[in-house]
């Protein structure tokens, strides 16, 4: 098997700077601080500027990520919080809340 060389990466900081992602906080995950972000699409269209609504969704997402799933691959976890509306992904670098079309 051939090793593949990474040509470029799009960092979390670049995505935040470009307005694709919105930082909403951080949590302690696996003994390290993990950024929590929303896609700007979900943040703006879902009314998550409201802190109470945002915190409620983050808590729901974190609880969902704690539960094992057969499709977890050891690197990435994806949970459907609301079918066809809201997903959460933990990929080792951050926890991202998004609409399915943002994936």
Split into its structural domains, the chain has a count of 1
Question: Is 5 contained in some domain?
Answer: no
* Structure tokens, 26: 């951080």
- Pure H helices in the chain: 12-17, 40-45, 51-66
Question: Whole-model pTM above 0.95?
Answer: no
Would the pLDDT of 30 be above 70? no
- Taking the C-alpha atoms of residue 101 and residue 88, their distance in angstroms, rounded to an integer, is 12
What residues make up the domain containing 59?
19-31+38-66+76-102
Would the pLDDT of 63 be above 80? yes
pLDDT for 85 equals 97
Question: Is 92 contained in some domain?
Answer: yes
Question: Is 2 contained in some domain?
Answer: no
pLDDT for 69 equals 92
The alpha carbon of 54 is separated from its chain's Cα centroid by a whole number of angstroms, namely 13
Stretch 28-35: mean pLDDT: 82
Collapsed DSSP state (helix, strand, coil) of residue 70: coil
Stretch 44-63: mean pLDDT: 96
pLDDT for 3 equals 80
């Amino acid at each position: 098997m051939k090793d593949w060389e990474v040509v470029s990466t799009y960092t979390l900081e670049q995505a935040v700077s470009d307005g694709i992602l919105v930082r909403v906080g951080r949590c302690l995950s696996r003994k390290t601080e993990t950024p929590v972000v929303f896609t700007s699409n979900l943040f703006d269209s879902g009314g998550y500027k409201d802190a109470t609504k945002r915190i409620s969704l983050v808590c729901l997402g974190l609880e969902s990520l704690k539960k094992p799933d057969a499709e977890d691959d050891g690197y990435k976890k994806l949970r459907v919080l609301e079918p066809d509306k809201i997903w959460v992904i933990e990929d080792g670098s951050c926890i991202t809340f998004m609409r399915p079309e943002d994936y």
